[in-house]
Structure 1
């Protein structure tokens, strides 16, 4: 995994990423399953699916899950990590010797990956969708105050919109602004960071994948690869699980594990991350969870590009040139298509995989 070879594991489109993943899984003789997404096609007219590759004894006691593409174009990074892992003979041999099964989930959100939307086919942010829909929906009262200037009628925003945002930040601080916008909201279906009102296709698909492969596991480690928060090229180890699992995460992955509920992470303390379904679907297992988040552009710049993407969904009549620019900007916010960044990503991802393998190996 030298950075000079880093680029070959990454792809320029969902279709290419899917092909590389399936080829690498086949070369490794993994057990592959495909969950086709009916009723939707990709940006190039291609079929959409979530694919899984499983290596190891079926029903293994110890399971390492690595998932990609929860947030659409963040899949470019996650897919590259998965392909590199499949091609890493040393790591694969270590997993086998340790008796740890590996489950790779490619493109949790295939629609967003292909169409370059962070959200899914229904504008749902999947990391806000994995909640108990039998209970009252989470309430984010601050969202209504910020939506008018976060998603103004025209794009780019006017000076008045920018002034309204500046006034809000002056009063509530940047953290308060980011929390209002990004924590998740369940009231505005065409707004930002919308969590939905029912389990999405991806939610239902992920649960069935987990029930199938994790039902017998006593120890599950799950790494969900993300991009777009934190310093350029740095992989922040975000702990999105229950508080009682944090000491184990720190023991496995080191002192630089940050938990949103402690206020130390680049991420807001969000409702309903995908990885938390492990508590529902594998209650018998001890779960050690990580959002591995690679920085790209400055946070507020990423947020502005997300706002533009959501605005575009509200305004399909926008001129073609503007649509193309917004799509391209969004992709660049979540994927730095250069050798240096990809090398940083793969180096850090490999360290995390090794640490996780060591942790699982010692778990009793």
Structure 2
């Protein structure tokens, strides 16, 4: 199969992606550290780890973080962007010249990346897990009402389940249905968009990475790469930070007027509790943080959601026939990774633009 220059940085499995990332990091002279998920193995029996690569001065005041794989198979695109960046001599030279350090965090959720689950080894959605567990857990009262037809007894859903969903949407509206399902819930451990009842391994690992690599930074820009929402191939710039006018204004000054904030109601993303990037406020309180979720569209939103429902259903039903298991796994992979040159080129081009804009913002900081 012909592989274009733009797409050679992408991989077909987590194991391949990890190997490409570590090889590219070593070739670029980066400082590399691996955080191994000891209690689990990958789908191919491989080691699972979150790997970091640092280019630039340790303890630099200005730090650009790019993370991948927060939602498992979304790591296929994020890893490709990170590997491409490690091969991008022009961009790396610009960073070095500006005195901006680059920290690449590869596979925030290695278990989900390898096993093709959006959630982690405990069915936790990591962008719902970075909350204060000292406070009462967030309550999503509507979730209990929708779960019986969102995760029915059999898959695909039957006529009665489809009718119940249609009735709910007719009464409450599509937006309310999606919020009930996707905003995050903390009551059903084997349900969809589950946030957990304590910090996950990935949560603890990311916090440790920040404490080690970002402790001296005064300005931090963090791009977390995602897939699955919005128009095909388009990179929506989602502002996942706190609701602070100055922070949102800075994001739009750096990245453009097309930065959308979920709390303003105009983003493809729900206004979620506890995204990974919010850890910067806890671990680097003295730093000025500029945050982005860069979200690349794949399939229509409700189709992606239906495939996520199937994935969660399968976790509840490990007795499902092998052919059905394979089909659900493949459907989920396809929901988050468009394995063609056109889409990959769109992802790489838009990511590079965002990284250059971020560099310019940090230079001026």
TM-score interval, smaller chain: over 0.9
Cα distance in structure 1, aligned partners of 2:241 and 2:115:
29
For 1:31-50, what aligned pairs fall within 5 Å after superposition?
31-50=31-50
Cα distance in structure 2, aligned partners of 1:107 and 1:72:
7
Give the secondary-structure state (helix, strand or coil) at the position aligned to 1:327: helix
Report the counterpart of residue 13 of structure 2 in structure 1: 13
Report the counterpart of residue 334 of structure 2 in structure 1: 332
User: Does 2:91 match 1:62?
Assistant: no
Report the counterpart of residue 127 of structure 1 in structure 2: 127
Give the secondary-structure state (helix, strand or coil) at the position aligned to 1:318: coil
Structure 1 contact 4–343 (Cα < 8 Å) conserved: no
Cα distance in structure 1, aligned partners of 2:7 and 2:166:
40
Report the counterpart of residue 194 of structure 1 in structure 2: 194
Report the counterpart of residue 232 of structure 2 in structure 1: 232
Give the secondary-structure state (helix, strand or coil) at the position aligned to 1:122: coil
Cα distance in structure 1, aligned partners of 2:151 and 2:330:
19
Report the counterpart of residue 315 of structure 1 in structure 2: 317
Report the counterpart of residue 98 of structure 1 in structure 2: 98
Cα distance in structure 2, aligned partners of 1:48 and 1:219:
31
Q: Deviations over 1:48-67 (max 9, x none)?
A: 00000001111000000000
Report the counterpart of residue 113 of structure 2 in structure 1: 113
Shift of 1:242: 1.1
Structure 1 contact 234–294 (Cα < 8 Å) conserved: yes
Report the counterpart of residue 206 of structure 1 in structure 2: 206
Structure 1 contact 238–265 (Cα < 8 Å) conserved: yes
Report the counterpart of residue 296 of structure 1 in structure 2: 298
Cα distance in structure 2, aligned partners of 1:299 and 1:119:
18
User: Does 2:256 match 1:254?
Assistant: yes
Q: Deviations over 1:52-100 (max 9, x none)?
A: 0001111000000000000000000000000000000100000000000
Q: Deviations over 1:296-333 (max 9, x none)?
A: 00000000000000000000000000000000000000
Shift of 1:5: 1.3
Cα distance in structure 1, aligned partners of 2:358 and 2:174:
34
For 1:143-154, what aligned pairs fall within 5 Å after superposition?
143-154=143-154
Give the secondary-structure state (helix, strand or coil) at the position aligned to 2:8: helix
Runs of 4+ residues deviating >2 angstroms: none
Structure 1 contact 232–296 (Cα < 8 Å) conserved: yes
Report the counterpart of residue 277 of structure 1 in structure 2: 279
Report the counterpart of residue 345 of structure 1 in structure 2: 347
Q: Deviations over 1:207-229 (max 9, x none)?
A: 00000011100000000000000
Could you tell me which runs of 5 or more consecutive residues in structure 2 were left unpaired when the two chains were aligned.
none
Shift of 1:174: 1.1
Shift of 1:4: 3.6
Give the secondary-structure state (helix, strand or coil) at the position aligned to 1:52: strand
Q: RMSD of the alignment, in Å?
A: 0.7
User: Does 2:50 match 1:83?
Assistant: no
Shift of 1:243: 2.0
Shift of 1:7: 1.5
Residue 362 of structure 1: which of 356, 361, 364 is its match?
A: 364
Cα distance in structure 1, aligned partners of 2:22 and 2:240:
29
Give the secondary-structure state (helix, strand or coil) at the position aligned to 2:103: strand
Shift of 1:6: 1.7
Query: For this pair of structures, how many residues does the alignment match?
Result: 361
TM-score by length of 1: 0.99
TM-score by length of 2: 0.98
